[in-house]
Amino acid sequence: MSVAELRSALDTLEEESCCSGQVRLTERLALALPDGDVGAIGDPKFVDWLLEHSEPAPYGHGTETKLDPKVRSAQRLKARDKVAVHGFDPAAILDDIAAALSPTRTLSAQLTDVIVYKKGDKFTRHKDTPRVPELIGTLVVGLPLAHTGGAFVVDDGRGPQKFDWSGAPVDQLPWVALFSDVDHEIEPVKSGARVTLVYSLHRTDQLRSDAKAKQRQELVKHAASTLSRQSAWPVLIPCGRHVIAEPEAEQPMSVDTLRGADHDIAQALLAAGLHVDVRAC
């Protein structure tokens, strides 16, 4: 088999950059602060309570953390990941998310922020910066609070996908999960308050069975295993997802710095007996 045929096999692979859904609330959702103070959905002063315990939400720019309302105007709970969420457990949807973003490994979720976007608030187009190989993406969960505007827009280069939660039922929590390096933005809120729970998604060491992923790996493994060892080397395969790399990271890097289909492809090449180097460029 030629390099061209391996390329053809890789070209048949498709990967989603985000997934979405809804979770039905079975109990009243509440947020508890470390000092024991509690705010709950349904309380007329819930948003005011959130704002009383919030601070301006910054954004990352390279290795810096900045505040600029022209880029991001929003508030976040000061307690951040110390907030206890009652009435919603991300474990209920992690398998659905893994099916799209991490077919061969299970995921864990860690709360990072509770964000409030008031009227006029927004977050311009940006992408998150993963800091560790295990961090593959972000889960954003919308709380059922009356508002208009504030649509969540995701664009992986194949056209924008817009998620407008302004009309979500009061007993549903809409959510979107996406790879960290995918461009996204929050359109300006026109009225009310848009409140979201933000979780980081981490790949675990626990294997996950997925027929589609297995078929994908077998296809690449077959193409690679029959590739003539007399072909021109090296074979360069561009990553669809960003490689997690510090500026001074040694080259080549571990296969575990890859995510999604890139990670599956590398594993299939290794299984076919090939040597795989991962390099940031």
The model's pLDDT over 127-163, given as tens digits with 9 standing for 90+, comes to: 886 677 788 999 999 999 999 999 999 998 889 999 9
Read off the CATH number of the domain in which 190 is found: 2.60.120
Question: Do 108 and 45 share a structural domain?
Answer: yes
CA gyration radius, the chain: 21
Question: Do 179 and 54 share a structural domain?
Answer: yes
Looking at residue 229, its pLDDT comes to: 55
Q: Give a yes or no: residue 278 inside a domain.
A: no
Q: 16 burial class (0-12, 13-18, 19+ CB within 10 angstroms)?
A: middle
Please tell me which residue, 1 or 244, carries the higher pLDDT value.
Answer: 244
Domain end residue (candidates: 184, 207, 230): 207
Closest Cα partner for 109 from 75, 148, 138, 143?
138
Q: Give a yes or no: residue 220 inside a domain.
A: yes
Per-residue DSSP letter, 278: B
Looking at residue 21, its pLDDT comes to: 97
Q: Give a yes or no: residue 276 inside a domain.
A: no
Question: Do 57 and 107 share a structural domain?
Answer: yes
Q: Give a yes or no: residue 277 inside a domain.
A: no
3-state secondary structure 131-193: CCCCEEEEEEEECCCCEEECCEEEECCCCEEEECCCCCCCCEEEEEEEECCCEEEECCEEEEC
Q: Give a yes or no: residue 279 inside a domain.
A: no
- Tell me the pLDDT band of 183, cut-offs 50, 70 and 90: very high
Q: Give a yes or no: residue 76 inside a domain.
A: yes
Is pLDDT at 228 greater than 60 in this prediction? no
Question: Do 188 and 255 share a structural domain?
Answer: no
**Domain hosting residue 254, numbered range:** 3-12+208-271
Which of 159-163, 202-206, 244-248 shows the lowest per-residue confidence on average (mean pLDDT)?
Answer: 244-248
Q: Give a yes or no: residue 134 inside a domain.
A: yes
With a pLDDT cut of 70, the percent of the chain lying above it is 88
* Total structural domains within the chain: 2
In a 13 Å sphere around the CA of 256, the CA atoms on its Cβ side amount to: 10
Q: Give a yes or no: residue 27 inside a domain.
A: yes
Per-residue DSSP letter, 12: T
One-letter amino acid at 275 equals H
Question: Do 247 and 151 share a structural domain?
Answer: no
Question: Do 139 and 251 share a structural domain?
Answer: no
- Tell me the pLDDT band of 98, cut-offs 50, 70 and 90: very high
Is pLDDT at 242 greater than 80 in this prediction? no
